[in-house]
Amino acid sequence: MGGAAAGTKWIHHIQRLSAAKVSAEAVERGQSRVIDASLTLIRERAKLKAELLRALGGVKASASLLGVPLGHNSSFLQGPAFAPPRIREAIWCGSTNSSTEEGKELNDPRVLTDVGDVPIQEIRDCGVEDDRLMHVISESVKTVMEEEPLRPLVLGGDHSISYPVVRAVSEKLGGPVDILHLDAHPDIYDCFEGNTYSHASSFARIMEGGYARRLLQVGLRSITKEGRDQGKRFGVEQYEMRTFSKDREKLENLKLGDGVKGVYVSVDVDCLDPAFAPGVSHIEPGGLSFRDVLNILQNLQGDVVAADVVEFNPQRDTVDGMTAMVAAKLVRELTAKISK
């Protein structure tokens, strides 16, 4: 049974328990125990990894992988829920080495650590609704950030996860960040198909919350009137692919984060042309090349305090895992930007 179907089954089970007069308090206590156990596992893993890094010394920041395998807020396909393990598998695939392009070694824990996944499906199986689930994601991110020198590098999951992640980063650092968002879509609908937590609405929630000072959206080529209107409402800097040749020099020489708490980078894999990354839910021709994306990321000036890679859908990937390798390469190069 797929994750989404299993989650629906157990949510119905919780509803039947309620109908059978199992008290709401008893269900709440059980849910809280599961959530506490989930946060404890992430906390203890983060603490162990951070203690090792502090003992090694000489580390100002280390990227720390945190998986958020959530797919139910996708408006089309829910396959991104299965992405984190596939990305990890590709990162350590024997077909390539463990070096980033600038020469940082991923098998050095001072560069990259891993604190595991937020157990999204297990929590949803207990009947936890999205308001509380988003809080759990935020608390998981804060738990990682509490352990210096770890900085969260989040593996999605659909793009709805960016809202609770950015919220956590901003709240933990005590102020807004600048966001570089690479995507075919602006994901800024006020409420898409009745879902305020839709993957198509995540950046509306971020901007409403005041968690970002500047939001730069790059790679856009599927944008509606509402997307443009919302961009104007929130003062978003939107760069569409139809003008990329004109914007290229600026985008490959960005300087962000001055006067705020740092830079957050969100990479939706569908920012890439499907020739480079076919394994996505929403295939939009006319996108960025992989080298375009790397040029933007590698030349970015700013303190990257956290990042995410989202919307890789293993269920639509090629048989040889081409898009998984693309997502893994994005993670590698973001690791290089974060670690120091």
pLDDT interval class at 319 (50, 70, 90) = confident
Domains of the chain by start residue, with CATH = 24-338 (3.40.800.10)
Question: What is the DSSP code (8-state) at residue 227?
Answer: H
The annotation status of 187 as a binding-site residue, yes or no, is yes
pLDDT at residue 11, rounded to an integer: 60
Separation between Cα atoms, residue 254 and residue 178, nearest integer Å: 11
- Residue 3 pLDDT > 60: no
- The stretch 310-336 carries a mean pLDDT of 96
Residues in contact with 67: Cβ distance below 8 Å, sequence separation at least 6, in sequence order? 84, 85, 88, 116, 117, 118, 154, 155, 157
Strand ranges of the sheet holding 304-310, from the earlier edge strand across to the other edge: 112-117, 62-68, 150-156, 304-310, 263-268, 177-182, 212-220, 237-240
For residue 319, give the 3-state DSSP assignment.
coil
Q: Is 247 annotated as a binding residue?
A: no
Q: Is 270 assigned to a binding site? A: yes
How much of the chain exceeds pLDDT 70, in percent?
Answer: 94
Q: Which two tokens stand for residue 42?
A: 């992430």
pLDDT range class, residue 2, cuts 50, 70, 90? very low
Give one word for 118, left, alpha or beta, with left for phi > 0 and alpha for psi -120 to 50.
Answer: beta
pLDDT one-digit tens code per residue, 198-214: 999 999 999 999 999 99
Beta strands in the chain (DSSP E): 62-68, 112-117, 150-156, 177-182, 212-220, 237-240, 263-268, 304-310
